[in-house]
A = this chain, B = another copy of it.
Protein backbone atom coordinates (compact mmCIF):
# COMPACT_ATOMS: atom_id res chain seq x y z
CA UNK A 1 0.00 0.00 0.00
CA UNK A 2 1.49 3.32 -0.98
CA UNK A 3 1.72 6.20 1.42
CA UNK A 4 -0.78 8.02 -0.66
CA UNK A 5 -3.31 5.27 -0.18
CA UNK A 6 -2.48 5.07 3.50
CA UNK A 7 -3.29 8.72 3.94
CA UNK A 8 -6.39 8.49 1.80
CA UNK A 9 -7.63 5.60 3.91
CA UNK A 10 -7.68 7.66 7.06
CA UNK A 11 -11.30 8.68 7.13
CA UNK A 12 -11.26 11.32 9.82
CA UNK A 13 -14.96 11.07 10.50
CA UNK A 14 -14.34 7.64 11.96
CA UNK A 15 -11.28 8.70 13.86
CA UNK A 16 -12.63 11.98 15.12
CA UNK A 17 -12.88 12.82 18.76
CA UNK A 18 -16.59 13.24 19.35
CA UNK A 19 -18.46 15.38 21.81
CA UNK A 20 -19.49 12.23 23.64
CA UNK A 21 -15.89 11.12 24.12
CA UNK A 22 -14.94 14.56 25.39
CA UNK A 23 -17.82 14.54 27.85
CA UNK A 24 -16.72 11.17 29.14
CA UNK A 25 -13.20 12.53 29.53
CA UNK A 26 -14.54 15.58 31.39
CA UNK A 27 -16.98 13.63 33.58
CA UNK A 28 -19.68 16.19 32.83
CA UNK A 29 -21.75 17.21 29.86
CA UNK A 30 -21.26 20.23 27.69
CA UNK A 31 -23.97 22.88 27.74
CA UNK A 32 -24.63 26.53 27.05
CA UNK A 33 -25.64 28.80 29.89
CA UNK A 34 -27.00 31.84 28.15
CA UNK A 35 -27.21 34.76 30.60
CA UNK A 36 -29.42 37.62 29.44
CA UNK A 37 -30.40 40.85 31.12
CA UNK A 38 -29.96 44.61 31.19
CA UNK A 39 -26.57 46.26 31.26
CA UNK A 40 -25.46 46.19 34.88
CA UNK A 41 -27.80 43.35 35.84
CA UNK A 42 -24.85 41.21 36.88
CA UNK A 43 -24.64 38.76 33.97
CA UNK A 44 -20.87 38.75 33.70
CA UNK A 45 -20.29 38.73 37.46
CA UNK A 46 -22.68 35.81 37.87
CA UNK A 47 -21.24 33.91 34.90
CA UNK A 48 -17.71 34.21 36.28
CA UNK A 49 -18.82 33.31 39.81
CA UNK A 50 -20.55 30.20 38.46
CA UNK A 51 -17.48 29.37 36.40
CA UNK A 52 -15.28 29.62 39.49
CA UNK A 53 -17.44 27.09 41.32
CA UNK A 54 -17.52 24.76 38.32
CA UNK A 55 -13.76 24.97 37.86
CA UNK A 56 -13.23 24.08 41.49
CA UNK A 57 -15.41 21.02 40.86
CA UNK A 58 -13.10 19.99 38.01
CA UNK A 59 -15.36 21.10 35.14
CA UNK A 60 -14.18 22.50 31.82
CA UNK A 61 -15.71 25.92 31.34
CA UNK A 62 -15.43 29.09 29.31
CA UNK A 63 -17.07 32.49 29.55
CA UNK A 64 -17.84 34.47 26.43
CA UNK A 65 -18.51 38.12 27.17
CA UNK A 66 -17.89 41.57 25.81
CA UNK A 67 -14.34 41.56 27.10
CA UNK A 68 -13.13 38.68 24.97
CA UNK A 69 -15.50 38.94 21.99
CA UNK A 70 -16.02 42.60 21.21
CA UNK A 71 -12.31 43.33 20.79
CA UNK A 72 -11.64 40.19 18.79
CA UNK A 73 -14.11 38.14 16.81
CA UNK A 74 -16.63 40.97 16.60
CA UNK A 75 -14.29 43.93 16.46
CA UNK A 76 -15.68 44.81 13.02
CA UNK A 77 -19.20 45.24 14.40
CA UNK A 78 -20.82 48.34 15.84
CA UNK A 79 -23.97 48.74 17.89
CA UNK A 80 -26.64 49.16 15.26
CA UNK A 81 -29.51 46.68 15.50
CA UNK A 82 -28.12 44.86 12.46
CA UNK A 83 -24.62 44.61 13.93
CA UNK A 84 -25.95 43.54 17.33
CA UNK A 85 -27.88 40.73 15.69
CA UNK A 86 -24.75 39.60 13.81
CA UNK A 87 -22.79 39.87 17.07
CA UNK A 88 -25.20 37.48 18.79
CA UNK A 89 -25.24 35.16 15.79
CA UNK A 90 -21.45 34.77 15.86
CA UNK A 91 -21.46 34.29 19.62
CA UNK A 92 -24.06 31.54 19.32
CA UNK A 93 -21.95 29.79 16.68
CA UNK A 94 -18.82 30.02 18.83
CA UNK A 95 -20.80 28.76 21.83
CA UNK A 96 -21.83 25.81 19.68
CA UNK A 97 -18.18 25.01 18.94
CA UNK A 98 -17.34 25.05 22.65
CA UNK A 99 -20.37 22.86 23.28
CA UNK A 100 -19.02 20.35 20.78
CA UNK A 101 -15.74 20.55 22.64
CA UNK A 102 -17.59 19.27 25.71
CA UNK A 103 -17.29 22.54 27.56
CA UNK A 104 -19.80 24.30 29.82
CA UNK A 105 -19.88 27.64 28.04
CA UNK A 106 -21.34 30.67 29.75
CA UNK A 107 -22.34 33.64 27.59
CA UNK A 108 -22.90 37.03 29.18
CA UNK A 109 -24.44 39.48 26.74
CA UNK A 110 -27.48 41.72 27.05
CA UNK A 111 -29.00 39.88 24.05
CA UNK A 112 -32.15 41.98 24.33
CA UNK A 113 -34.20 40.49 21.52
CA UNK A 114 -36.28 37.36 21.95
CA UNK A 115 -35.84 36.44 18.30
CA UNK A 116 -32.04 36.38 18.47
CA UNK A 117 -32.04 34.34 21.67
CA UNK A 118 -34.43 31.89 20.04
CA UNK A 119 -32.13 31.72 17.04
CA UNK A 120 -29.17 30.99 19.31
CA UNK A 121 -31.23 28.28 21.01
CA UNK A 122 -32.06 26.63 17.70
CA UNK A 123 -28.42 26.44 16.62
CA UNK A 124 -27.76 23.66 19.11
CA UNK A 125 -29.50 20.37 19.99
CA UNK A 126 -32.63 20.59 22.11
CA UNK A 127 -31.79 20.82 25.80
CA UNK A 128 -28.28 22.16 25.32
CA UNK A 129 -29.30 25.80 25.64
CA UNK A 130 -30.20 27.01 29.11
CA UNK A 131 -31.44 30.56 29.17
CA UNK A 132 -30.87 32.36 32.43
CA UNK A 133 -32.67 35.63 32.92
CA UNK A 134 -30.75 37.99 35.18
CA UNK A 135 -33.75 39.89 36.43
CA UNK A 136 -32.85 43.28 37.82
CA UNK A 137 -34.92 46.43 37.60
CA UNK A 138 -33.54 49.21 35.47
CA UNK A 139 -33.53 51.40 38.58
CA UNK A 140 -31.07 49.07 40.31
CA UNK A 141 -28.93 48.71 37.17
CA UNK A 142 -28.87 52.46 36.67
CA UNK A 143 -28.05 53.10 40.32
CA UNK A 144 -25.07 50.74 40.03
CA UNK A 145 -23.95 51.99 36.61
CA UNK A 146 -20.56 50.33 37.08
CA UNK A 147 -19.37 51.34 33.63
CA UNK A 148 -21.04 54.78 33.60
CA UNK A 149 -23.04 53.77 30.53
CA UNK A 150 -26.47 54.77 31.84
CA UNK A 151 -25.22 58.25 32.58
CA UNK A 152 -23.92 58.54 29.04
CA UNK A 153 -27.10 57.04 27.60
CA UNK A 154 -29.26 59.52 29.53
CA UNK A 155 -27.06 62.29 28.16
CA UNK A 156 -27.85 61.04 24.68
CA UNK A 157 -24.28 59.97 24.02
CA UNK A 158 -25.17 56.33 23.36
CA UNK A 159 -27.92 55.75 20.79
CA UNK A 160 -30.09 52.65 21.05
CA UNK A 161 -29.10 51.85 24.62
CA UNK A 162 -31.06 48.90 25.96
CA UNK A 163 -33.64 49.92 28.55
CA UNK A 164 -33.31 53.62 27.72
CA UNK A 165 -33.71 54.09 24.00
CA UNK A 166 -33.94 50.48 22.81
CA UNK A 167 -36.20 47.74 24.18
CA UNK A 168 -35.23 44.81 26.38
CA UNK A 169 -37.53 41.88 25.69
CA UNK A 170 -37.58 39.82 28.89
CA UNK A 171 -37.62 36.04 28.41
CA UNK A 172 -41.07 34.52 28.65
CA UNK A 173 -39.97 31.02 29.59
CA UNK A 174 -36.28 30.93 30.53
CA UNK A 175 -34.86 27.78 32.08
CA UNK A 176 -34.03 29.91 35.12
CA UNK A 177 -34.74 33.38 36.42
CA UNK A 178 -32.41 34.79 39.04
CA UNK A 179 -33.05 38.00 40.97
CA UNK A 180 -29.60 39.47 40.50
CA UNK A 181 -30.88 42.88 41.49
CA UNK A 182 -32.01 41.71 44.93
CA UNK A 183 -30.47 38.40 45.92
CA UNK A 184 -26.92 37.77 47.04
CA UNK A 185 -24.75 36.48 44.20
CA UNK A 186 -23.98 33.33 46.19
CA UNK A 187 -27.66 32.46 46.15
CA UNK A 188 -27.87 33.03 42.39
CA UNK A 189 -24.80 30.84 41.87
CA UNK A 190 -26.45 28.06 43.87
CA UNK A 191 -29.56 28.30 41.72
CA UNK A 192 -27.51 27.90 38.54
CA UNK A 193 -25.59 24.93 39.96
CA UNK A 194 -28.91 23.38 40.98
CA UNK A 195 -30.18 23.79 37.41
CA UNK A 196 -27.07 22.07 36.06
CA UNK A 197 -27.59 19.16 38.43
CA UNK A 198 -31.26 18.86 37.52
CA UNK A 199 -30.45 18.86 33.82
CA UNK A 200 -27.86 16.14 34.21
CA UNK A 201 -24.96 18.35 33.14
CA UNK A 202 -23.20 17.68 36.40
CA UNK A 203 -23.13 14.30 38.01
CA UNK A 204 -25.45 14.26 41.02
CA UNK A 205 -22.53 14.06 43.47
CA UNK A 206 -20.56 16.83 41.77
Q: Which of A's residues lie within 8 Å of B, judged by CB?
A: 3-4, 6-8, 10, 12, 15-17, 21-22, 25, 42, 44-45, 47-49, 51-52, 55, 58, 60-64, 68, 72-73, 76, 86, 90, 93-94, 96-98, 100-101, 103, 123, 140, 143-144, 146, 180-186
A64 and B7 contact, Cβ closer than 8 Å, known pairs A17-B55, A25-B58? no
A73 and B94 contact, Cβ closer than 8 Å, known pairs A10-B185, A42-B7, A184-B6? yes
16 CB-based A-B contacts, threshold 8 Å = A4-B143, A4-B144, A6-B184, A12-B44, A12-B45, A16-B51, A17-B51, A22-B55, A22-B60, A60-B60, A62-B101, A68-B97, A73-B90, A73-B93, A76-B86, A101-B103
Q: Taking the nearest CB of chain B, how far is it from the CB of A111, in angstroms? A: 17
Closest Cβ neighbor of A44 among chain B residues: B12
A94 to B95, CA, bound (A): 10
Closest Cβ neighbor of A102 among chain B residues: B60
Q: Taking the nearest CB of chain B, how far is it from the CB of A40, in angstroms? A: 10
Q: Taking the nearest CB of chain B, how far is it from the CB of A177, in angstroms? A: 16
A185 to B47, CA, bound (A): 42
Q: Indicate if the CB atoms of B16 and A48 lie closer than 8 Å.
A: yes
A4 to chain B: which residues have CB within 8 Å? 140, 143-144, 181
A16-B52, A62-B101 are known; give 15 further A-B pairs, CB within 8 A.
Answer: A3-B184, A6-B184, A6-B185, A7-B42, A7-B45, A7-B185, A10-B48, A10-B185, A15-B48, A16-B51, A17-B51, A21-B55, A76-B86, A94-B94, A101-B101
